[in-house]
Structure 1
Amino acid sequence: MLPPERIFSIIEDAASMRESDVATVASLFHSTPKKIPEWSTPYVDVFTADISVSAPFRTFEMRVPSHPQTANGLIILSLAPADGCVSSNDITRKYGSPPEYSPPNARQPADAPEYFIYRRSWGDLKFGVSRSAPYCLLSVVIDWEVKR
């Protein structure tokens, strides 16, 4: 597994490229995303890809506004803690403590992560962490406001 600092560097690179085309952002993860028409709407195009060579990253999803005035953009990355654990302590060492927390609501599955949310000038950087020890990073959401 990549060391936590390298994983954070890749996440920061993805955040800095958030307004680039989907293929450019996906190239960070050596993946080729495909548009998923059944998940897309008149407002947002959804692209996904499996990631096989950039452990611990497993899947890539990017939601791109079809019309910039109608929606924000999202990049969602899932990670596999079986490939090694980026701990909640690693996250707070890098991004500061305490972050804003967003626990799952009652309608979500029991294993849904709790999110550490860091506000940025461009939007939110959210780290989904398992709710039981060893508190590993499960997902990352880069949620940005589209320039209008």
Structure 2
Amino acid sequence: MNPSDPSVPQVLARLLLGGVLVFAGVSHLTFARDAFYAQVPPWLPLNATFVIVASGVVEIGLGAALMFLRRWRVQLGWVVALFFVLVFPGNISQFVTHSSAFGLDSDVSRGVRLLFQPLLVVWALWCTGAWSAFRRPVA
């Protein structure tokens, strides 16, 4: 086994993360679209509907790529981690504006959610092997 080959838990975690992203993206475009307005920062100089639809399309694309593009998984891990960093201001905005959505109807629940965003970044980097590839010495 090559040290750069992913472990079974990493593969399963990558597939799960891909499925979660596809589901979230589909929800942006369909049944949960209205709830996502709570996450679009009021200061963002873009149309909120555009942001919701575009981020949904990006999530579907990233999720599908995580599930099916094994060759580019390390690079994809960095892209997915960056995506999670870029959408974090929306989660902060929901907390700061006290907007209720997705069952997050208190500052405590919205605050706890903020704590999970870094875990998504770590999940993306670990399950794709991006972090271990970054740490591996160049020969």
TM-score for both structures, normalised by structure 1: 0.30
More strand by percentage: 1
Task: Please tell me whether Structure 1 or Structure 2 has the larger radius of gyration of its CA atoms.
Answer: 2
- Which of the pair has the greater relative contact order for Cα pairs under 8 Å at 6+ separation? 2
